[in-house]
Structure 1
C-alpha cells in the first residue's frame, strides 16, 4: 500500500510540474509577442513622452555683468563659476510646476475648501433637499471650515468630524463630500500627530463608527468593512506621509552637513595648495637674495686685501650661515612640493616691470586694458611686487573667462605706507561669449582664494565685488611693512 501511495504522489507531482511548464511556455510566448509589439510602438511612445514632458534644456549662463547675472560675484561663493540650471519643458512638467506653486501659495486652502463646500451644496440639492434644511447645515459645517485647515487644523478637524458624526447619528444620509472632508481631515491630522496619537485617533474614529452603526441610520446602506478600510487607510496614509517627510528632512539635513563639510575641505585644500605655490615663489625670491649674500661674503676676502683676520673669519661665517640657510630652505620646500611636480617653473619670478607684457597679452586676446600709475614710485620688495603682479594676472584671467570683451582699467597707487592695486572691468560685450586663440594661463591659482591669500600674507586686505556701473572691482591694499 505504501508503494502505491508513493507511486501515486510521484505521478501527481510529475503532472503538476508538467502543467506548470506548459503555463510557463504559454506565458513566455505572450511575453515575446508583447515585447515585439512594444519595440514596434517604442518610437511612437518616445514621441508622445517627448511631447508631454519635453526635453531637459540647459539654461544659458547670462554673461557676467548682465542684469540677470547672479549677484554673488562672477565666480560664485568660493571662486567657482556658477553652474547652469537645467530646465524641463513640456505640458506635464509645466503643469506639475504650476500645481506645486499653487499648493504652496496661501490661496490653495481657501479655494479648495470653497469648492468642496459648493460641491456639498450641489449634492444636497441633487438629493431633493432644501438649501436651508438641516442636511445642508450639516454639509456646510463639515466642509466650510476646510478653508482654514492650514492655519488652525485641529479646531477645524474638531468641527468637521463633529458635524459628520452628528449628521450620521441624526439619521442624515451620508454625502460623498462630507465623507471626503472627514477623511481629508483625518489624513492631515495623522500627518501632524505622532504615531501613538495617530493610533489613538484611529481607535476613536472606529469607536464612533461603531456607535453610528449601532445607534444611527446614516451608514445603514454602506458596508462596515468599507468604512473601516477608508478610515484606517486615511490615517495610515497620513502617518506614512509624515514618516516619509521626516526621513526626507533628515536626509536633506545630512546631505547639507555633508556638502558643508565637503565645501570646507575643498576650500581648505585650495588654500593649502595656493599657500604652497606662494611658498615656492617666495623661495625663488629669497633664495636669490641669500645666494647673493653668500657670494658677496665669500668673495669679499679676495676683493679687499686690507681685511683683518677677524673680518675674514666673519665673512666666512656669514657665507657659511647663508649656505646653511639655503639648504634648510630647500628642505622646507621639498615638503611643499608633494603636488608640484607638474608646476615647476624655471623662469624668473615676475615683478611689476612686466605688467606691460601682461597687458599686451590681454590685448592680443582681444581685450582692452589700460594701466595708470599714481603717486611717487619707489623700490618695493620682491615679495610685494610678485604678489601685486599675480593679483593683476588673476584678475585679467577672470575677466577673459567671465566678462569677455569688457574694457579693463588697472591702477597702481603708491601711498606712503602701502601699494593699492585696483582692477576694474566695465560691463562686458554681451555679443561675445569667449576669447578664441588664447591659451589658459599656467598660474595654477584658485581665483579669489589665491588673491586673498597673497594679500593676507603681506598683512593687507582684498575686496572683490560688483561695481556700481555693472562691472566688477578687485581692489587690494598691500602694506610695505606687515
Structure 2
C-alpha cells in the first residue's frame, strides 16, 4: 500500500503529458485550416483563370519573351509590341510598398480610421476607447522594424479592450488579425501553433469574463482567428518553397553556364588541334624542302667554300629538328586519333569548283562569283577559306535543304573576303549547335580559322531571310602570284 502511494506521488501530472500532444495538434490544425483555404482560393483562381487572363492581357499587354540571338547578336524574330498601361504603375507601387514610407502611412491611416469609427458612438478620441483604438492601430507604423514588440503591444491592447467591455471596432479587429497573420508568416511552425493556442484561450477568457465579443458567435471568432494564423503560416510555406526553388534554379543556371563554357572551351581546343593537324602538312612540306635543298646544295654547287658547306649543313640539321618538334607538338594537340591522316594533301582554293560540284550532286543549288584579281595566296589563307566555304555549304544542306546558296570570293588589297549566303529560313539549331555536329568544324571552327589569321568572322540570320556567313582573311602584300 505504501509502495502504491509512493508511485502515485512520483507520477507526472496529467497536464504535463498532454501539453506536447496538444501543442503539436494545434500546429497541425492551424496548418490544415490554412491549406484548406489555399485549396479553395487556388480552385477559384483556376476557374476564373480565362477571365483573369483576358483582363491581365488588356491591362499588362501581351506576354513578352526575349528573342533568341544569333552569333552576331541578331534577333531570330521580332519582339512583341509595347506592354499595357499598368506595369509601370504596378512597379512603382511595389517600390513604394518595399520602402520605409509604406508602413508608417498605413499605420497612421489605420489609426485615423479607428478614431473615425468611434465618432458615431459618441466616443471622444481622448477617452479610454480612443486610447485602446490608438494602442491597437498606431504600433503598425513600426511593424517592419520591430514585428514582435509591435505584435505584443497590439494584441495585448486588443485583448484588454475586449475584457474591459469596449466597443468592438472593425478597424481594431482588422489590425489584430493582420498582426496575427504577420506573426504566423514570420514565425516557425511550432511558434505558430503556440500562437493559435494562446489566441483560442484568449477568446475563451473574453467570452467567460467579459462581453467584448458578444456580438459574434464563439465559433466565428475561433474560425477567423485560425484563418488569419493559418493563412500566414501557409504564406510562409509558399515563400519558403519559392525561395528554395529560386535557389535551385540559380544553381542550375550557374551549372549550365559553367558546362556551356567548358563545352565551348573543349570545342575550341578540338578545332585548334584539327587546324594544327592540317597546317602540319603545309609547314612540314615547306621545312622538308628547306632541309632537302640545304643537304643537296654542296653537291650541286661548284667551288663551294668549307664555311658555306658547313652553313648548309646547319640549315639542314635545324630543319630536321624543326620537323621533329612539330611532330611532338602535333601529338600533344591531337584531340582524336584516326581523324584526317597527317599525310593527306590539304585543299586550296583551286579545288573550290570540285566542292561546288559535290554540293550540286547532293541536290543543292549553288552559284559562285569571284571579284577582284585572282592571286596566289599563302597555303594557310587558302586552306582556311576553303574550309569555311566547305562548312558553310554543309550547314546549308543540313539546316536549309533545297535552299539556293551563293558563294562570293573577293580579292581585296590586303585581305580575302568570303561570303556564303542561303535564301532558306535559318533554323535555330544553327545557333544552338555551334560545333556543327560530330566531326564538323561548325561556327566555332570557322571563327577559329579566321581569328588565327587575325581576320574577322560573323554568322547569323540575314536581313532578307536565310543565313549568311562572312569572313575576312588578311594576307601579306608582298605575296607573289602563284605560277
TM-score scaled to structure 1, two decimals? Answer: 0.57
**SS of structure 2 residue aligned to 1:477:** strand
Deviation at 1:395, TM superposition (A): 0.7
Corresponding residue for 1:299?
Answer: 296
**Maintained 8 Å contact 2:453/2:474:** yes
The SS at the match of 2:374 is coil
Q: Bigger shift: 301-310 or 258-267? A: 301-310
Alignment partner of 1:389 is 2:386: yes
Once residues 353 and 209 of structure 1 are traced to their aligned partners in structure 2, the CA distance between those partners, rounded to angstroms, is 96
Match of 2:445 among 450, 455, 464: 450
Retained in 2: the 8 A contact 1:190–1:242? Answer: no
1:480 aligns with 2:478: no
SS in 2 for 1:222: helix
Q: Following superposition of structure 1 onto structure 2, how do residues 37-436 of structure 1 map, counting pairs within 5 Å?
A: 72-73=69-70, 206=199, 213=207, 214=210, 215-222=212-219, 226-344=223-341, 346-427=343-424
1:381: Cα distance to partner? 0.5
Aligned to 2:466: 471
Structure 1's 388 and 478: CA in aligned 2 closer, same or farther, altered over 3 A? same
Q: CA deviation at 1:417?
A: 0.6
Whether the aligned pair in 1 keeps the contact of 2:294 and 2:315 (CA below 8 Å) is yes
Change (3 A) 1:221 1:476: same
In 2, Cα distance between equivalents of 1:252 and 1:442? 29
**CA spacing shift, 1:443–1:285, aligned 2, 3 Å:** farther
* Cα distance in 1 for residues equivalent to 2:178 and 2:345: 76
* 1: CA distance, partners of 2:264 / 2:444: 8
Q: Distance in 2 between matches of 1:299 and 1:427?
A: 57
User: Alpha-carbon deviation of 1:457?
Assistant: 0.3
Relative distance call for 1:266 and 1:184 in structure 2 (3 A) is farther
Q: CA deviation at 1:414?
A: 0.6
Task: Please give the alpha-carbon distance, in whole angstroms, between the structure 2 residues aligned to 1:195 and 1:338.
Answer: 56
Once the two structures are TM-superposed, the CA of residue 170 in structure 1 deviates from its matched residue by 5.5
Deviations 1:327-358 (A, max 9, x none): 11111111112533445354211111111111
Distance 1:447 1:412 in 2: 20
Q: Please report the TM-score for the alignment, with normalisation by the length of structure 2.
A: 0.57
Distance 1:187 1:408 in 2: 67
Classify 1:188/1:203 alpha carbon distance in 2 versus 1 (closer, same or farther; 3 Å): closer
1:194, 1:416 → 2: CA distance?
A: 75
Q: CA RMSD in A?
A: 4.5
Secondary structure of the residue aligned to 2:363 is coil
Q: How big is each residue's C-alpha offset from its partner over 1:88-139, in whole Å with a ceiling of 9 and x where there is no partner?
A: xxxxxxxxxxxxxxxxxx8xxxxxxxxxxxxxxxxxxxxxxxxxxx9xxxxx
Question: Counterparts of 1:442 and 1:248 in 2: how far apart (Å)?
Answer: 34
Deviations 1:2-56 (A, max 9, x none): xxxxxxxxxxxxxxxxxxxxxxxxxxxxxxxxxxxxxxxxxxxxxxxxxxxxxxx
Cα distance in 2 for residues equivalent to 1:211 and 1:227: 17
- Unpaired segments of 5 or more residues in structure 2? 1-66, 77-89, 91-119, 121-143, 145-153, 428-435, 478-483
- For the 8 Å contact 1:399–1:406, the answer to whether it is kept is yes
Whole-Å Cα distance in 2 between the matches of residues 221 and 395 of structure 1? 80
Report the CA distance between 1:230 and its aligned residue: 3.1
Deviation track 1:244-274 (CA, whole Å, cap 9, x = no partner) reads 1111111111111111111111111111111
What residue number does 2:456 align with?
461
The alignment partner of 1:376 has SS state of: coil
Aligned length: 323
Q: Identify if the C-alpha distance between structure 1 residues 345 and 366 changes in structure 2 by more than 3 Å, giving closer, same or farther.
A: farther
Shift of residue 461 of structure 1? 0.7
* 1-structure distance, mates of 2:387, 2:184: 62
Mapped partners of 1:201, 1:321: distance in 2:
89
- Hey, what's the Cα distance between the residues in 2 that align with 1:424 and 1:343? 28
The Cα shift of 1:463 comes to 1.0
Change in 2 beyond 3 A, CA 1:423/1:200: same
For the residues of structure 2 that align with 1:194 and 1:353, how far apart are their CA atoms?
78
Partner of 2:84: none
Question: For residues 334 and 419 of structure 2, what CA distance do their matches in structure 1 show?
Answer: 32
Distance 1:379 1:442, change over 3 A: farther
Q: Contact 2:348–2:382 at 8 Å: present in 1 too?
A: yes
Change beyond 3 A, Cα 1:202–1:413: farther
Does the 8 Å contact 2:72/2:458 carry over to 1?
no
* Larger mean Cα displacement after TM superposition, 249-258 or 230-239: 230-239
Contact 2:280 2:330 in 1 (8 A): yes
